[in-house]
């Protein structure tokens, strides 16, 4: 409605702003009480320190206090830095052009609003935060005498605290939020509170941040749309065969074994970035395992079951569908860990000829240095996880998603806190974040085996360290041609840790490193002309030596893999295989039913 002559514009109406703030305060009080009530179990807080953070910081404090001189040095450094900051700010306020004492790192999006630089007050708040954050982090992580696991935990949670305390995360110290509050009369905060309440309701009392417009996407409608048919199904997976698009196809089919922590369609988001669609277009007869999102009835399913009902069953089904007695395998993350064990199993059973070549995306088989995920795996935390799984039969997808989001908290937590709750905006529709939110649960038996034998005890790399279906697993038996792709900025499977596999397998291995992270580095079609990758035909003992001798190439790694895998595909002279026309009949259209299950 238009303003009456002489009236104040709505965004300058102090009464309207006051009413909005009163509504926010009233609803927030109830929100906090409901949240606290939800944390109580039988009148007590369950697992008051489930991540065992307190013990790590107590040990750090004890080590720190044992050397008072270092504490004194750190305090003097802090005061000296603040004096320098005050000096420069005073000179700037007097009109002098002064370089900032502390600037955000390149790519830090938290301080992109111009007010953080142009406004003296907010510039001082920003620099004070950066100064204090860097001092706190360097002091906490510079303590000597901590064991490796404790030091890593202190490092990680200090960063979590520092990120959480950023002035951009709070109403009164974020100029962009303050501006929106004044201009909207506080409606951004009311809308933000509605968003918060909606997320709590969706999470049944636990915060489930909405990262994207979930209504904008539908599996099978505008994501995961590559045409195909489900041709096989068991308790744990559906096997999808994709429709050919070329006049002739390679003789050897291609099986993709994705992780079961998320859905398979990370490799089939949109036609222009779909690895599956691209591989079909190159002439491969592509099959993909679509893992089920399990409920409590599958709590007993083990890592061994995932092998037997996953890749082993899929290889048999592919032979029925196509008549081919062998396939090439592409595997991803935990799907790669399973595939590595499967290859050792097949070699031990003298059945390795079922696989012509194997490709691993961002895969760990030696968990000695398993990155930041290792901080979530110690005796105390595994006990907490197993106590929860004993009640539900699962490690829920939400718990897994929270863990992964913490690895990139500024991008995957705090940016949405600002956008959704402080700015009162709806999240932007983004297919990758839709996939990221579409997580799956993990059966209790499988997850317990995985945590103990891989992350905690690192047994998979040891010959006979684990046994599957009565067969001792020895990764050294893998003589099948192998392509290993790792990503330079991977927080889940650090590339230097994945390199260890090159020294374990006994067959020919090609190791390729690509820029970016766990997802973006893999899902990087050539047409995007993004990132770069590195190759080195030699495989020296250490990743550092490999890196020193590596050659950089612009653009996607996909063409490199295409050239490599063509040596193992047979000739491209086979009649296209139509899903359902072979030895297996079509059950339903791709992407199937399992991928649509949300728990």
Q: Could you say which of 209, 230, 269, 333 is catalytic?
A: 333
Residue-by-residue DSSP string for 375-405: GG-SHHHHHHHHHHHHHHSEE-HHHHHHHHH
Residues in the chain: 599
β-pairing, 228-233 vs 237-242, is antiparallel
Name the DSSP letter for residue 165: T
β-pairing, 394-395 vs 442-443, is antiparallel
Q: Is-contact 559 187, C-beta < 8 A?
A: no
Q: Residue 438, exposed/middle/buried by CB under 10 A (0-12, 13-18, 19+)? A: buried
Sign of the Cα pseudo-torsion (533, 539, 543, 546, in order): negative
How large is the angle between the packed helices 148-164 and 53-65, nearest 10 degrees?
100
To the query of whether residue 333 is one of the catalytic residues in this protein, the response is yes
Residue partners of 226: CB distance under 8 A and separation at least 6? 242, 268, 271, 274, 276, 277, 280, 590
Give the number of other CB atoms < 10 A from CB of residue 38.
13
Element (H, E) at 353: none
Give the dihedral of Cα atoms 189, 190, 194, 199; nearest 10 deg: 20
Of 328, 382, 384, the C-alpha closest to 354 is 328
Q: Report residue 477 as tokens.
A: 């038996």
Helix (H, G, I), strand (E, B) or coil at 278: helix
Active-site annotation, residues: 333
């Amino acid at each position: 409605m238009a303003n009456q002559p002489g009236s104040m514009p709505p965004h300058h109406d102090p009464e309207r702003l006051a009413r909005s703030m009163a509504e926010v305060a009233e609803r927030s009080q109830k929100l906090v009480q409901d949240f606290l009530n939800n944390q109580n179990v039988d009148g007590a807080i369950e697992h008051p320190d489930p991540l065992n953070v307190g013990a790590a910081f107590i040990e750090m404090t004890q080590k720190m206090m044992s050397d008072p001189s270092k504490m004194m040095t750190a305090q003097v450094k802090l005061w000296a830095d603040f004096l320098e900051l005050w000096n420069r700010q005073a000179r700037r306020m007097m009109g002098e052009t002064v370089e900032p004492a502390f600037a955000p790192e390149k790519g830090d999006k938290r301080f992109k609003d111009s007010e953080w630089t142009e406004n003296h007050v907010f510039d001082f708040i920003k620099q004070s935060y950066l100064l204090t954050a860097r001092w706190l982090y360097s002091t906490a992580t510079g303590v000597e005498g901590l064991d490796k696991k404790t030091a890593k935990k202190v490092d990680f949670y200090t960063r979590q605290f520092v990120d959480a305390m950023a002035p951009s995360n709070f109403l009164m110290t974020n100029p962009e939020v303050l501006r929106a509050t004044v201009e909207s009369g506080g409606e951004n905060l009311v809308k933000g509170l509605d968003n918060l309440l909606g997320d709590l309701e969706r999470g049944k009392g636990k915060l489930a941040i909405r990262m994207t417009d979930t209504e904008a996407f539908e599996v099978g409608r505008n994501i995961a749309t590559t045409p195909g048919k489900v041709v096989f199904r068991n308790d744990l997976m559906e096997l999808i065969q994709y429709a050919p698009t070329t006049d002739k196809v390679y003789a050897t089919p291609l099986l993709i074994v994705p992780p079961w922590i998320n859905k398979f369609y990370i490799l089939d988001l949109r036609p222009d970035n779909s690895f599956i669609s691209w591989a079909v277009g190159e002439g491969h007869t592509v099959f993909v395992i679509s893992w089920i999102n399990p409920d409590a009835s599958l709590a007993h399913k083990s890592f061994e079951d995932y092998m037997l009902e996953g890749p082993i069953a899929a290889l048999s089904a592919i032979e029925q569908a196509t008549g081919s007695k062998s396939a090439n395998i592409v595997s991803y993350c935990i799907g790669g860990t399973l595939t590595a064990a499967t290859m050792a199993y097949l070699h031990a059973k003298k059945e390795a000829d079922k696989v012509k070549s194997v490709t691993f995306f961002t895969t760990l088989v030696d968990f000695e240095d398993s990155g930041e995920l290792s901080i979530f795996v110690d005796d105390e935390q595994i006990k907490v996880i197993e106590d929860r799984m004993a009640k539900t039969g699962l490690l829920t997808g939400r718990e897994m998603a929270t863990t992964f989001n913490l690895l990139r908290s500024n991008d995957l937590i705090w940016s949405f806190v600002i956008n959704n709750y402080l700015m009162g905006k709806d999240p932007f529709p983004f297919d990758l974040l839709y996939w990221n939110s579409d997580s799956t649960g993990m059966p209790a038996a499988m997850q317990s085996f995985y945590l103990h034998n891989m992350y905690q005890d690192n047994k998979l790399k040891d010959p006979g360290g684990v046994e599957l279906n009565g067969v001792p697993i020895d990764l050294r038996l893998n003589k099948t041609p192998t392509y290993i792709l790792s990503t330079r900025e991977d927080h889940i499977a650090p590339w230097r840790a994945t390199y260890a596999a090159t020294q374990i397998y006994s067959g020919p291995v090609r190791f390729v490193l690509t820029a970016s992270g766990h997802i973006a580095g893999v899902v990087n079609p050539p047409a995007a002309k993004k990132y770069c990758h590195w190759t080195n035909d030699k495989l020296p003992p250490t990743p550092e030596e490999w890196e020193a001798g590596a050659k950089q190439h612009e653009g996607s790694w996909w063409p490199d893999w295409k050239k490599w895998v063509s040596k193992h595909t047979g000739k491209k002279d086979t009649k296209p295989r139509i899903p359902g026309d072979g030895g297996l009949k079509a059950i339903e259209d791709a992407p199937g039913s399992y991928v649509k299950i949300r728990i």
